């Protein structure tokens, strides 16, 4: 009897152990299947729009070449951009590019029109032509408003980013050309090819509220610091740049590149066409079309002091930087490590052909959706004014 009782207790203990083991395994399975998945890695991409040097198809064709920044800027994909055609069937010059996170769209301006392309579906939502054509656009920080200069004519169109409809028109009679929407969203800076004055618009009224200058000649590409207190401009005839005070409207400095000759340039007719600040605003980088160079200046002093130069494979007509400030992107398609000054790679398409463009923008994706974007201009990102 004692033997039977002992056997029964052993059997019962075994059943309890097996049941407990099964329950733990089952619970473990449930915990495993219900554990949260790791957040998707943010994908940093460089969108390069072509033809971004005049209408030359040899620098990347007609569309958007997309590169993976974190994979040595390797070619990732090509997005076709239908439309934007001239009467002879040749793609129109791309004049500018910008991004709205509000609409999840990338906007491309050509000589005649603006295209709105969904960044997720990659489909063109609308394309509209505007009176007087279109030059280099800029979008408000909230992504809702586009300031679209007519093509070197008298006015800027203020456009609804969602619909493409014109809200109003700002007439400056300055040969409208380049545009920067201030990071605080309160002012827009408008430079014309026929004026030595930089017009500043109040975004509440969409009217010119003040001017900055006069500068030494007509204004070409320009950039601003993050605090919106200084503007750095290229001007006709100058291998170098000038600086203006965005608060007082006064001209401040003229800086000439030393040690290099001014010569003929193949495009733009301007010795220095392209200027940008590193995001931390410690350096200013300047294009030199004749000498095929980038000149680097120390911007921690005022006026900035020339530091070094970087040789390029072709004529630079634009310069911008990655959001983290690690890379410089001249229009020649070279990718430069800002810290070491070394060219680390060249942008190439799917067939290993060179891609060059003066119109490119960095976009970050998380879970397939755009979550951050850079700017086609090399804008400073230090929002508080600092004393030099």
Predicted local distance difference test score (pLDDT) of residue 83: 80
Predicted local distance difference test score (pLDDT) of residue 38: 59
Read off the pLDDT of residues 63-110 as tens digits, 9 standing for 90 and up: 999 999 999 999 999 999 988 766 667 889 999 999 999 999 999 999
Most confident of 4-18, 252-266, 373-387: 252-266
More confident residue, 325 or 11: 325
Read off the pLDDT of residues 357-368 as tens digits, 9 standing for 90 and up: 999 999 999 999
Read off the pLDDT of residues 157-174 as tens digits, 9 standing for 90 and up: 999 999 999 999 999 999
pLDDT score of 385 more than 90: no
Predicted local distance difference test score (pLDDT) of residue 9: 41
* Residue 322 CA: distances (Å) to CA of 66, 279, 330: 14, 8, 11
Domain locations in the chain as residue ranges? 43-373
**pTM tops 0.85, yes or no:** yes
| Positive or negative: CA dihedral 151, 332, 46, 285 | negative
* Residue 83 CA: distances (Å) to CA of 61, 94, 193, 312, 381: 14, 12, 27, 33, 34
Q: Does 2.130.10.10 match the CATH number of domain 43-373?
A: yes
Predicted local distance difference test score (pLDDT) of residue 36: 62
Contacts of 44 (CB under 8 A, 6+ apart): 68, 69, 70, 322, 323, 362, 363, 364
Read off the pLDDT of residues 207-247 as tens digits, 9 standing for 90 and up: 999 999 999 999 999 999 999 999 999 999 999 999 999 99
């Amino acid at each position: 009897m004692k033997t039977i009782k002992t056997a029964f207790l052993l059997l019962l203990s075994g059943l309890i152990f097996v049941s407990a083991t099964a329950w733990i395994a089952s619970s473990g399975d449930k915990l495993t299947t219900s554990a949260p998945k790791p957040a998707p890695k943010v994908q940093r991409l460089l969108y390069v729009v072509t033809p971004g040097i005049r209408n030359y198809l040899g620098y990347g064709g007609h569309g958007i070449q997309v590169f993976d920044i974190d994979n040595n800027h390797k070619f990732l994909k090509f997005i076709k951009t239908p439309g934007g055609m001239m009467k002879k069937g040749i793609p129109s010059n791309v004049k500018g590019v910008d991004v709205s996170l509000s609409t999840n769209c990338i906007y491309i301006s050509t000589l005649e029109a603006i295209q709105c392309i969904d960044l997720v579906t990659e489909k063109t939502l609308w394309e509209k032509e505007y009176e007087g054509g279109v030059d280099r656009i800029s979008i408000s920080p909230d992504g809702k408003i586009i300031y679209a200069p007519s093509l070197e004519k008298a006015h800027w169109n203020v456009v609804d980013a969602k619909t493409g409809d014109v809200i109003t028109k700002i007439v400056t009679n300055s040969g409208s050309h380049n545009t920067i929407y201030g990071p605080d969203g309160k002012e827009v800076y408008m430079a014309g090819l026929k004026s030595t004055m930089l017009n500043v618009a109040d975004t509440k009224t969409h009217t010119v509220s003040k001017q900055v200058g006069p500068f030494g000649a007509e204004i070409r590409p320009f950039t601003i610091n993050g605090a919106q207190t200084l503007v750095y401009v290229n001007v006709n005839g100058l291998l170098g740049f000038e600086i203006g005070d965005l608060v007082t409207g006064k001209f401040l400095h003229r800086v000439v590149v030393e040690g290099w000759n001014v010569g003929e340039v193949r495009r733009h007719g301007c010795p220095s066409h392209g200027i940008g600040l590193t995001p931390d605003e410690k350096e200013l980088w300047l294009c030199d079309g004749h000498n095929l160079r980038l000149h680097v200046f120390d911007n921690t002093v005022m006026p900035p002091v020339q530091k070094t130069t970087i040789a390029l494979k072709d004529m630079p007509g634009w310069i911008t930087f990655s959001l983290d400030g690690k890379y410089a992107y001249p229009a020649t398609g070279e990718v430069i490590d800002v810290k070491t000054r070394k060219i680390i790679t060249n942008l190439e398409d799917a067939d290993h052909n060179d891609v060059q463009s003066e119109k490119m923008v960095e976009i970050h994706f998380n879970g397939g959706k755009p979550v951050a974007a850079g700017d086609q201009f090399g804008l400073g990102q230090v929002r508080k004014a600092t004393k030099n």
